[in-house]
Every structure is written in structure tokens, then in C-alpha cells.
């Protein structure tokens, strides 16, 4: 039997019956093709493989707020805490209204410009020194024949030292009358721009005057709250309140150091009230001190005319120069006639009831 020779060698195996193999090959080719295509477009928005998720946080509204034009990057952020404000009617509230400025030169200062004791601001016929002594002293003895004005003796509960001091007219320097806002200090903080009348009123205003220990008054000099405070710490709140009241009343300013010193004192007494202007009535004409022991507020009406027949070595004291002249009295010259201080010198020429 003759065998037939196979051409081309061994016959290739048929792939029929093995579909899984073919599918795998096709799938691999498609995968390779897709991967190449994706690598060309993966950076385009919305295309390519989804990014790997990362941790996120909620946005704070402050992160997206637009900065204002005036925003200062060095400014301290405000807080929600309420700001403490001074109560109306307190010295602390008044302090906030005072102007803060530097001290002006002392050039041109003259104590006599303020006419202390030469101007009867309340028109009661007495010089202001005796007015303050009658107001601030107790157990007062009035010199007879002085229309209830002149204080001979008394006792002072000194606010500056806290001690009780005896006053005797024969040793008057032991108890002195202090301008709480010193005249020189006032001059350097606004008074040099005043007219003559304002200076007279300031120099004789009971609001700015206190009877005190003469030694401590000399120690204080013309100092302000930044350089001197009373040794009696219990009186410091009222002392500073009086200075603030006076300066506010007359439009005077304070230095920064003075302002800060006042604020430190009032920090311990934030409810400290402003100080009212207080004076004292006349003492009895025969030395009776009974009327001079209780201070009263400054009267708002004109003083009543005294009895023209009152005893004394001076002319009778009338309610006005008009009344005095009607009875044939006057004129009176400053520094010569004691009656001069009883009446207002409207034109400041040194003569009244002319």
C-alpha cells in the first residue's frame, strides 16, 4: 500500500472548540489600545480616571470674606466682650470728656492775675478765705464786729493728712487754703487764654478751694495728680474728682500722665460722683459759730440786705452799692477800705460805690 506524503509538514491544530483562548487575546489587545488612548487625554477636564479622594473640611465663612480697603493687618481683632463705660454723673465719665494735651509754657504767669481774696464771688461781703474757713472748720469762733465774716479759731479735719488740726488766726499758716487745681497748673493748661473776669472767678471759686494742712499744701506746690496726691489715701478719690470737676467746669485740659494717674485712682472708686460747689453762711455778728457749722450750696438769689444799724468799726453792709449810696455811704477803695470787698467791682478799677 502506497502512503501519501503530507505537504508542508505537520498539519496545524484546529482552534475549533477553544473559544476562551481567542476571547482572552482579543480582550488583551483592546485593553492595551484603550490604555494608550487614555494616557493621551487624561489631563483634560472631565476626562480620564477619577482622582483619588482626599480628606476635606467645611469652609469657614471668614475664609471667603472679602477684605476691606481700610483693613489693617496688624490690628487686634475685636472681641465680643462688652466694653465697660462710666456711669453718667461720675468723675470717671467726666474724665473721659477732658482734652488730653501737653503742658504749655509757664511764660507770663502771675498769681495776682487771679485776684485771690480780692474778689467776692458770692457777694456776701466776706473775702473767700474766711468763707472757706467757715465752711470747712468746725467749732468756729467768729470775730465780733466783722459782720459774721472773720474766723478767729476752729478745728479742721484735714482731708490731706486725715488728722485733726487746730486753727488759730494768730498762726494762720498752720491751716492754709489750697487751690485744688493749682493756679500755675491751670495757667499751663488753658487759663492763659482767659479774660480777666474768668481768672477772677477761678481764683476765688469755692469749688476749687479747700482748707488743708499748710505743710502739705506747701509740699504739693503746683503739682497735678501725676506728681502729687494726698497722703490720706481715703481722700484721693474725692480729691481727683474735685480736680476733674474743676477742669471740666473751666475747660482746662490734662496731660496724658495726669489723665492716667486720675484713671488709676478712680479705678478703685468708679462710682465716685462729681463734686458740687459748696459754701457756708455767715457766722453770727457777735462770734456765734452756730450758723457756720453746716455747709450749704451756693445761693442762686441775691443776698438780702443786712441791717444798716449792725455794730462794728466799719460802715454798714448793704445788699448793693445802690443801697449804700442811697444811705450816703461810699465810695470804697481796694486795699484801703475793708468795705470794698463787700461789693462787686464791675469795671475792675479798684473802686466801688463811687
Query: How do beta strands 164-168 and 151-157 pair?
Result: antiparallel
CB 195, CB 257: distance < 8 Å: no
- Could you tell me which residues come within 8 angstroms of residue 153 by beta carbon, excluding any fewer than 6 positions away? 139, 140, 141, 166, 167, 168, 169
pLDDT digit string, tens, across residues 70-107: 333 333 343 333 334 678 889 999 999 999 999 999 99
Any idea which residue has 443776698 for its cell? 303
Question: What pLDDT does 316 receive?
Answer: 79
Omega within 30 of 0 (cis) for the link into 243: no
Please say if the pLDDT value at position 53 is more than 50.
no
Query: How do beta strands 137-142 and 151-157 pair?
Result: antiparallel
The one-character DSSP state at 301 is S
What integer is the mean pLDDT of 145-150? 91
Lowest mean pLDDT among 56-60, 108-112, 321-325: 56-60
Question: What pLDDT does 303 receive?
Answer: 38
Give Cα separations from 6 to 13, 15, 86, 323 (angstroms). 14, 20, 121, 168
Question: What pLDDT does 23 receive?
Answer: 55
C-alpha of 154 from chain center: 35
Please say if the pLDDT value at position 59 is more than 60.
no
The percent of residues in the chain predicted with pLDDT above 90, rounded, is: 49
The model's pTM: 0.60
Lowest mean pLDDT among 204-218, 242-256, 275-289: 275-289
Mean pLDDT, the chain, rounded, equals 76
Question: What pLDDT does 29 receive?
Answer: 54
What integer is the mean pLDDT of 328-349? 76
Lowest mean pLDDT among 17-31, 255-269, 326-340: 17-31
Look at residue 262 and give its three-state secondary structure.
helix
- Residue 127's nearest CA partner among 182, 196, 200, 199 is 200
- Could you tell me which residues come within 8 angstroms of residue 44 by beta carbon, excluding any fewer than 6 positions away? none
pLDDT interval class at 284 (50, 70, 90): low
Amino acid at each position: 500500500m502506497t502512503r501519501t506524503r503530507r505537504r508542508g509538514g505537520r498539519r496545524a491544530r484546529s482552534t475549533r472548540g477553544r473559544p476562551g483562548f481567542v476571547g482572552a487575546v482579543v480582550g488583551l489587545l483592546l485593553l492595551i489600545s484603550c490604555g494608550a488612548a487614555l494616557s493621551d487625554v487624561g489631563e483634560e477636564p472631565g476626562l480620564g480616571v477619577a482622582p483619588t479622594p482626599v480628606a476635606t473640611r467645611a469652609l469657614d465663612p471668614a475664609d471667603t470674606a472679602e477684605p476691606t480697603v481700610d483693613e489693617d493687618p496688624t490690628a487686634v481683632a475685636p472681641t465680643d466682650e462688652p466694653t465697660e463705660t462710666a456711669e453718667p454723673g461720675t468723675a470717671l465719665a467726666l474724665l473721659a470728656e477732658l482734652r488730653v494735651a501737653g503742658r504749655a509754657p509757664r511764660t507770663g504767669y502771675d498769681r495776682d492775675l487771679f485776684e485771690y481774696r480780692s474778689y467776692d464771688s458770692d457777694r456776701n461781703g466776706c473775702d473767700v478765705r474766711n468763707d472757706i474757713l467757715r465752711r470747712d472748720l468746725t467749732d468756729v469762733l467768729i470775730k465780733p464786729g466783722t459782720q459774721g465774716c472773720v474766723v478767729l479759731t476752729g478745728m479742721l479735719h484735714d482731708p490731706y493728712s486725715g488728722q485733726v488740726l487746730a486753727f488759730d488766726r494768730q498762726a494762720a499758716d498752720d491751716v492754709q487754703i489750697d487751690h485744688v487745681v493749682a493756679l500755675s497748673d491751670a495757667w499751663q493748661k488753658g487759663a492763659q487764654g482767659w479774660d480777666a473776669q474768668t481768672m477772677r472767678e477761678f481764683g476765688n471759686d469755692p469749688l476749687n478751694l479747700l482748707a488743708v494742712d499748710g505743710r502739705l499744701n506747701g509740699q504739693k506746690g503746683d503739682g497735678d495728680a501725676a506728681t502729687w496726691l494726698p497722703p490720706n489715701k481715703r481722700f484721693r478719690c474725692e480729691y481727683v474728682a474735685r480736680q476733674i470737676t474743676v477742669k471740666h467746669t473751666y475747660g482746662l485740659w490734662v496731660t496724658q500722665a495726669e489723665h492716667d494717674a486720675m484713671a488709676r485712682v478712680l479705678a478703685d472708686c468708679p462710682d465716685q460722683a462729681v463734686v458740687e460747689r459748696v459754701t457756708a453762711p455767715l457766722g453770727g455778728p457777735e462770734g456765734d459759730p452756730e450758723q457756720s457749722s453746716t455747709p450749704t450750696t451756693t445761693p442762686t438769689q441775691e443776698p438780702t440786705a443786712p441791717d444798716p444799724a449792725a455794730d462794728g468799726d466799719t460802715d454798714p453792709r448793704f445788699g448793693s452799692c445802690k443801697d449804700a449810696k442811697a444811705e450816703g455811704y461810699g465810695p470804697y477803695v481796694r486795699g484801703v477800705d475793708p468795705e470794698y470787698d463787700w461789693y462787686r467791682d464791675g469795671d475792675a478799677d479798684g473802686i466801688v460805690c463811687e
